[in-house]
Amino acid sequence: MSESNSSAACMADQNGAVPGEPVKKDENSRRGNWGNQIEFVLTSVGYAVGLGNVWRFPYLCYRNGGGAFMFPYFIMLVFCGIPLFFLELSFGQFTSLGCLGVWKVSPMFKGVGYGMMVVSTYIGIYYNVVICIAFYYFFMSMTNLLPWTYCNNPWNTPDCTGVAGSPRANATFANVSAVVSGVTEIVNRTKRTSPSEEYWRNYVLNISDGIGNFGEVRLPILGCLAVSWVVVFLCLIRGVKSSGKVVYFTATFPYVVLTILFIRGITLEGAVSGIKYYLTPQWEKILDAKVWGDAASQIFYSLGCAWGGLITMASYNKFHNNCFRDSIIISVTNCGTSVYAGFVIFSILGFMANHLGVDVSEVADHGPGLAFVAYPEALTLLPISPLWSLLFFFMLILLGLGTQFCLLETLVTAIVDEIGTDWIIKNKTYVTLGVAIIGFLLGVPLTTQAGIYWLLLMDNYAASFSLVIISCIMCICIMYVYGHKNYFKDVEMMLGFPPPIFFRICWKYVSPFIITFILIFTVIQYKPITYNDYVYPSWSLVIGFAMALSSVICIPIYALFKIAVSEGSTFLERLKNSVRPDPDWGPALQEHRKGRYATTGPESVEVCPLKEDLKDEGKEKLKENETEKKDEIGLTIPGSNGSTLNPTPSA
C-alpha cells in the first residue's frame, strides 16, 4: 500500500472505519472479538443489570430513607461509578487482555487481578444459587394454583395466615378484596406468618436452626443448580461468539417483562401509596455513614466495578471502539433500571399493603425475601396469578444469567490469557467446562438447609468493602504509579480524543478520596449480619471477614513476591523494576502500536500517527510522492484500492 493510502487508512473514525471505503475488520485472530458493538453493549448491560437491581436496590432504598437514598446513590454514580466504569473499559480495551493480563502496566500490582478473580469466584458461586432458586419458583409456577397461596399445605404451621382466604374462595379481584379486608388484626400479630414465607422457609429452603447445621441437601434446589450451570455453560460454549448472540434476548426481554408488570402494578388500588413510600425521602438518614456505604456498595455491586468483568468484556472490543460512549450508556441504563424496578416492586407491595390495611414497611421483606416472599405473596392476589409469577421469575432468571455469563467468562479469560498457549486457546471450551463444574460443586453446600445463611454471609462480606479497596488501588496504580499522563495519552491513542477533564479529575482525586472516606466510615459503623431474628455466631463472622480479606490479601502477597524476583541489587532497584511496565504492555495488535509502543526492524508494521501529526506529515508525504512520480519509469496505472501498479515493460 502506498504512503498516501497509509495516511488515509490512519485517518479512520473512532470505530476504525474510513469514510467511503469498506470497514476494515480489526479482529484479533487468537482471542477473537465481538461480532459487533451491539453485542458488547448488550452483554455489558446484561452484566451490570442483574438480580440486585430488583431485590437489592429496592430493599436498600426503603431501608435507607426512601427517596433520600437516591441522593448518595447518584452522587456515588457520578463521581465513582461512571468514572470507574470508563476506566475499566478503557483499561481492558487498550490491551485486549483480561483482568490478569492488563497488569503488565505495572506487574507488581498483578495481585489486584487475582483479587478480582477471587471476588468473581465468590459471587459466581452464590449468584448461580439465587438463579437456581428463581428457576425452582419458575417451575413451581407452572400450575393452576400457586403453591404459596393458602395455608392448607403439609409445610404450613398453625401460625400461618393467608391473604387470599381459603381454598374455596373465588380467586377474583373483587372476592379477594372482601376476604382480606378482615384479616388486618390477625396479620399484625407477631407470631403470624404468611403462606409465601412458610413456603420459602419450610419447603423451598427447609431452613435449619443455624449456619452450623447444614442438614441435608435440598435435591430440588440441587437439580435446579445443575440446570442453571448447564445453561450458563451452553451459552458460553464458544466464548463471546456464542454469548454475544444470546444477549440479544437475555438483555432485552427483562425490560419487556418489567414494563408489563409495571403497567399491571400501577393499575392496582394502593399502588400510589407504595410508590410514595418508595420515593418519600427521610433526610435524617443521609447523615448515617451506613447509608453512604450502602450506596457505594450498591454502585460497585450493580455496575460490576472491581469484579474484573468489565475489563474482560472490553478486552474483546476492537481497538478504536468508543468505550467512553459505551460507559455512559451502560451506566445510565443500569441505574435507570434499578429505579424503574423499584416502581415495579413497590406498586405491587403498595397494593398488598392497602388490602391488608397495614403500612408498606410491614409487607416489604429483607434481602432475597423481597423477591421470593413479599412479591410472590402479592402476586397471589392478582387474577391469573401463575401467569404473573411465571413472567416475574423468568425475568429474574434472565437478569441473573446475564451477569453470570460475564462472571464465568472473566475467570475463563483470565486463565486462558495467563497460560496463553495455542492449545489452551483452541481448547477454551474445556476450560469453560472445568470452571463450570468446579462452580457447581462449590455451590452444593449452599443448597443444604443452612445454605441461605452462607449465601447471605458471602453476599455481605465477599463482595462488600473488598470491592472498594480493589477499585481504589486500581486508581492509584494507573494514575500515580503508571502515570496519569501516560494513561491519558493511551486513551487518546485508542479513542482519538483524550478523556474529558471531569473524568481525569475523578480518576486522580475524587473517586479514590470518596472510596477511602466511605470505607473508613463503613468500618467504623460496622454491624454484624443478621437474618430476620437469627444472629450469626462469632465464628461465622470470622469466616466472612476471611472471605473478604482473601481477595484483598492477594495484592500485598503478590507485590512482595514480584519485588523478590525482580532484578536489582538493592530493594529500591527491585521495587522500581517491579512497577515498571512490562515490555509487552500496550496494544495487542502490531498495527496499533504507535508512538512509544512502535517497534523497529524489518518486521515492524506501519504505524498510524496521532491526529496532531497528520497534517504536517501529510504535506511532507505529498511532496515526496510528487518527487517519486517524476522519477518513475514506465506507465503507472491506478489500482482499484488506490495503490499503483507498474507493469513490466514488454521485451
Neighbour tally for 522: CB within 10 Å:
19
> Residue 172 corresponds to which cell in the numbers above?
377474583
Give bridge partners of residue 193 from the DSSP assignment: 160
| Nearest 10 degrees: Cα torsion 75, 78, 80, 84 | 160
Q: From the centroid of its chain, how far is CA 182?
A: 45
3-state secondary structure 60-93: HHHHCCHHHHHHHHHHHHHHHHHHHHHHHHHHHH
Q: Among the residues of 207-322, which ranges form H helices?
A: 219-235, 240-250, 253-266, 271-279, 289-303, 309-314
Q: How far apart are CA 572 and CA 566, in angstroms?
A: 11
Asked if residue 645 belongs to a known ligand binding site, the reply is no
Asked if residue 302 belongs to a known ligand binding site, the reply is yes
3-state secondary structure 102-161: HHHHCHHHHHHHHHHHHHHHHHHHHHHHHHHHHHHHHHHCCCCCCCCCCCCCCCCCCCEC
Residue type, 5: N
> Residue 233 corresponds to which cell in the numbers above?
455453560
Asked if residue 334 belongs to a known ligand binding site, the reply is yes
Decide if 53 contacts 341 (C-beta within 8 A).
yes
- For 448, phi then psi, to 5°, come to -80, 180
> Residue 208 corresponds to which cell in the numbers above?
435449619
SS3 content of the chain, % helix, strand, coil (to 5): 65, 0, 30
Residue with C-alpha cell 460454549? 237
Distances 268 to 14, 257, 265, 273, 489 between C-alpha atoms, Å: 48, 17, 6, 11, 55
Asked if residue 53 belongs to a known ligand binding site, the reply is yes
Q: How far apart are CA 631 and CA 337, in angstroms?
A: 65
Q: Return the closest-CA partner of residue 128 out of 235, 214, 1.
A: 235
Q: How far apart are CA 370 and CA 379, in angstroms?
A: 12
Decide if 466 contacts 515 (C-beta within 8 A).
no
Q: How far apart are CA 310 and CA 102, in angstroms?
A: 12
Asked if residue 646 belongs to a known ligand binding site, the reply is no
| Nearest 10 degrees: Cα torsion 413, 417, 422, 423 | -50
Element (H, E) at 535: strand 534-535
Asked if residue 49 belongs to a known ligand binding site, the reply is yes
Residues annotated as binding site? 46, 48-49, 53, 302, 334, 399
Residues annotated as binding site for Na(+)? 46, 48-49, 53, 302, 334, 399
